[in-house]
Amino acid sequence: MINLSQQLKLGLRLTPQQVQYLKLLQLPTLSLEQRIKLELELNPMLELNEEQETPVEQEETIEEPAEKEENQIEDSYSIEDYINDDVSGYKSPEAYKSSDEDDSYEPPMPTAIPLLERLLGQLKMSPIDDDEILLAEEILGNIDEDGYLHRDLNLIVQDLNLSYGLNLSAEKAGQVLQKILLLDPPGIGARNLQECLIAQLHAGKYPNSLKELCIKVLTVYFEDFKLKRYDNLEQNLSISRETLKKIIDTIQHLNPKPGEGEFTAQENYITPDFIVEKDNGDFIITLNDRNIPPLRINNAYKQLMAPRGKKVSAETKDFVKKKFEAAKWFIASIHQRRETLMKVMRIIVEKQRQWFEEGETLKPMIYKDISEVVGVDISTISRVVNSKYAQTEYGVYPLRFFFTSGLESENGEDISNQVVKQRVKDIISAENPDSPLNDDKIAEILKQEGIRIARRTVAKYREQIGLPIARMRRKV
């Protein structure tokens, strides 16, 4: 039997334009440049506004909190205004300036020879045949960023034999690996920490007696060394405490990650999305979108939409109409993205003003604190913060750095967990190395300072800042 009924439901549906805006919002500057280039290729209605001078970064001044209302961004422009203006962003008298005034010279980065090529060059200077070169190339190609070889040598040999029809042995691969271990940087290609440190001892210039003792510690008594059982080492090696100190000091000065730092400056370069500068007590926020090209609607296609335009087929007109709507919303989305980014960054600077002035103390702040002021959902703040960086007077920081949870002190004030982590680090750095403080003692010290914190929270913060437990911090 068929029945008719009514239901009342509350739901949320996003339009394609809203989805596009949210996707653009979470893109960092470099990704947005690529996205615009892709849209220019896909949509013939979009074109670069070459007549318009390249827009410089949008700037906004953050003054004292009492005057912040004067710096609110106006939301008076509509989508049609942007289409008529043929620009992709907020247009104001200061929005566009001559690029010659603001372009600063950035010297080119020197080219660097990749680590793989340097190692192969060193290897070819010693007597080596073609099979060994082939093995060396395959081994070096499997080394990870830290300089370790985590792939089994048997599998490497098996792949080479199948690919080239050879009959290489695992023993020969092991011989090639031993040669690689002694190259510069020594220890590169090691399969574990012991092998890495032992290779560095063999390659380094140390007194023979000290070198033999260090190698014996790493091969026979590595567990005692790792767990800092210094009494056992003294007894098993029959050495004095002074000799043990020399051994420990020698091993600790070896490099546990020989491949670290081998990236070029180009690979490590971060392009900040915001630049925050201090100027006479105020903060100037600059959106770093200098390389974002200005867009406009292609006039040739736009005329096809006019009522008195050229006579075209209904199919062509429908195609142009769809592309026109897509171009219009794409331009509007870029503008809306810029406005939202500036609003969020302005509130971050206002709430963390003390940090931007001193570079030390962060206040507890979560996404909800920003969303309530800006008037958007928490998920929108998360998209803004995602993969974005801000250049400050104290370095380049991810936006997530400025968001921290808080702990309540005895006087009722909230303290950022970043402040507590720094205090834990300071307490540990000032402890007696012969008798390190455990997490319970650190929690007691913090409680005496008025910070309510549990032992497990101290342990969590200690692990997050990369400090081991008390027993592992003990020194000779």
pLDDT at 361 over 90: no
User: Which pLDDT tens digit goes with each residue over 187-206?
Assistant: 999 999 999 999 999 999 99
Higher per-residue pLDDT: 62 or 223? 223
Please provide the DSSP assignment of 459-473 as one string: HHHHHHTT---HHHH
Q: Give percent of the chain above pLDDT 70.
A: 81
Q: What mean pLDDT do residues 225-240 have?
A: 89
The Cα 461–Cα 467 span in angstroms is: 9
Q: Which of 467, 465, 436, 474 is nearest to 226 (CA)?
A: 474
User: Which pLDDT tens digit goes with each residue over 341-358?
Assistant: 999 999 999 999 989 988
Q: Which residues contact 181 (CB under 8 A, 6 or more apart)?
A: 187, 188, 189, 190, 195, 199, 202, 203
Q: What mean pLDDT do residues 434-439 have?
A: 86
The Cα 234–Cα 121 span in angstroms is: 43
| pLDDT band per the 50, 70, 90 thresholds, residue 72 | very low
| pLDDT band per the 50, 70, 90 thresholds, residue 96 | very low
Residues 430, 431, 434, CA angle at the centre, nearest 5°? 140
- Give strand ranges (E) for 114-264: none
Residues 311, 298 contacting (CB under 8 angstroms): no
User: Which pLDDT tens digit goes with each residue over 306-316?
Assistant: 655 557 678 88
User: Which pLDDT tens digit goes with each residue over 12-43?
Assistant: 677 777 888 888 888 888 888 888 999 888 88
The Cα 219–Cα 180 span in angstroms is: 20
Higher per-residue pLDDT: 277 or 269? 277
Q: In degrees rounded to 5, what are phi and psi of residue 361?
A: -100, 120
Q: How many CB atoms lie within 10 A of CB 39?
A: 18
Q: What is the pLDDT of residue 190?
A: 93
Q: What is the pLDDT of residue 73?
A: 33
pTM: 0.57
The Cα 425–Cα 41 span in angstroms is: 52
| pLDDT band per the 50, 70, 90 thresholds, residue 301 | confident
Higher per-residue pLDDT: 73 or 35? 35
Q: What is the pLDDT of residue 52?
A: 53
| pLDDT band per the 50, 70, 90 thresholds, residue 471 | confident
Q: What is the pLDDT of residue 246?
A: 92
Of 57-66, 198-207, 233-242, least confident by mean pLDDT is: 57-66
Please provide the DSSP assignment of 150-193 as one string: -S-HHHHHHHHHHHH-----HHHHHHHHHHHHTSSSTTTTBSSH
Of 32-36, 140-144, 217-221, 263-267, least confident by mean pLDDT is: 263-267
The Cα 184–Cα 113 span in angstroms is: 14
Could you tell me which CATH number the domain at 405-473 has?
A: 1.10.10.60
Question: Hey, where are the domains in the chain?
Answer: 16-99+271-363+372-378+389-399, 405-473
Q: How many CB atoms lie within 10 A of CB 276?
A: 20
Residues 288, 338 contacting (CB under 8 angstroms): no
Q: What is the pLDDT of residue 102?
A: 46
- In angstroms and rounded to an integer, the radius of gyration of the C-alpha atoms of the chain is 31
Residue 338 burial (C-beta neighbours within 10 Å; 0-12, 13-18, 19+): buried
pLDDT at 137 over 70: yes
Q: What mean pLDDT do residues 61-69 have?
A: 50
Q: What is the pLDDT of residue 188?
A: 92
Q: What mean pLDDT do residues 377-402 have?
A: 90
User: Which pLDDT tens digit goes with each residue over 113-124?
Assistant: 777 888 889 988
Q: What is the pLDDT of residue 259?
A: 81
Average pLDDT, the chain: 81
Q: What mean pLDDT do residues 281-308 have?
A: 79
Q: How many CB atoms lie within 10 A of CB 402?
A: 23
User: Which pLDDT tens digit goes with each residue over 123-132?
Assistant: 888 888 889 9
Q: What is the pLDDT of residue 85?
A: 43
The Cα 44–Cα 300 span in angstroms is: 10
Q: What mean pLDDT do residues 428-455 have?
A: 87
Residues 431, 425 contacting (CB under 8 angstroms): no
pLDDT at 71 over 60: no
